[in-house]
């Protein structure tokens, strides 16, 4: 999920930026520092939105840079357990699929791709034995985050599509159409029974 968050931090402005006005130097340094930055608590930084304030510069002996206490707004993406997320299948493997969620990448184990026995096909897709549904690179999907691990530089995100209303968007549409047809059929049968009941009276 995307968040706007306000942060206060001492920004280390390098000497190469000293020729610029202070606010511009801090802005440039902020964008460089926070580009592709990830923090377990903060999330993945997408963009620096706005600098709210820049304090007086502090010089630390032995360091040629200047530190400015600054407040700024960031646009971040933070994954939460049980959250629904849209994404595009970016890679199919023998053990599952990787899904690109825009700013992060998650993994769907082969057993969590659909409610069916699934195998890896020669056409580089995952195929359901009974349903004949297949999942391939470029497919748009809706998945749920079921596991998060913060070991390493970026989190490892585990996803599932085996719950009702999840999966490849084409499958979701198919399921909705089937439900609508069943509901319409039941409504017609109910009408017939009501009419039939009136005639008997």
Query: Domain check: are 21 and 64 in the same one?
Result: yes
Residue 125 structural domain: 84-176
pTM of the model: 0.75
pLDDT of the residue at 198? 58
Same domain assignment for residues 11 and 37? yes
User: In the chain, how many domains are there?
Assistant: 2
* Residue 191 in domain: no
Position 197 scores a pLDDT of 65
Chain segment 12-49, per-residue pLDDT in tens: 999 999 999 999 999 999 999 988 888 888 888 999 99
Provide CB contacts within 8 A for 97, sequence distance 6+. Answer: 89, 91, 107, 108, 110, 113, 126, 135
Low-confidence ranges of the chain (pLDDT < 50): 199-201
Decide if 185 is inside a domain.
Answer: no
Contacts of 191 (CB under 8 A, 6+ apart): none
Residue 190 counted as domain residue: no
Which CATH number characterizes residue 104's domain? 2.40.50.140
Residue 51 belongs to some domain of the structure:
yes
Strand ranges for 140-185 from DSSP E = 140-149, 156-160, 167-168
Residue 196 forms part of a structural domain: no
The reported pLDDT for the residue numbered 79 is 87
Looking up residue 21, the CATH number of its domain turns out to be: 3.30.1490.120
- The three-state secondary structure class of 181 is helix
């Amino acid at each position: 999920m995307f968040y706007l968050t306000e942060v206060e931090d001492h920004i280390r402005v390098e000497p190469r930026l000293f020729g610029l006005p202070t606010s511009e130097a801090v802005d440039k340094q902020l964008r460089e520092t926070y580009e592709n930055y990830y923090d377990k608590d903060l999330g993945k930084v997408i963009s620096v939105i706005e600098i709210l304030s820049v304090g007086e510069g502090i010089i630390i002996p032995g360091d040629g840079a200047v530190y400015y206490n600054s407040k700024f707004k960031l646009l971040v993406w933070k994954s939460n357990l049980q959250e629904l997320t849209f994404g595009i299948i970016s890679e199919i493997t023998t053990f599952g699929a990787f899904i690109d969620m825009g700013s992060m990448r998650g993994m769907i184990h082969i057993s969590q791709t659909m409610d069916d026995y699934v195998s890896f096909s020669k056409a580089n897709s995952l195929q359901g034995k009974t349903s004949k549904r297949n999942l391939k690179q470029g497919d748009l999907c809706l998945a749920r985050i079921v596991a998060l691990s913060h070991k390493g530089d970026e989190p490892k995100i585990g996803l599932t599509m085996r719950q009702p209303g999840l999966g490849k968007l084409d499958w979701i549409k198919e399921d909705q159409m089937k439900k609508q047809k069943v509901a319409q059929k039941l409504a017609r049968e109910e009408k017939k029974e009501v009419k039939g009941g009136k005639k008997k009276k």
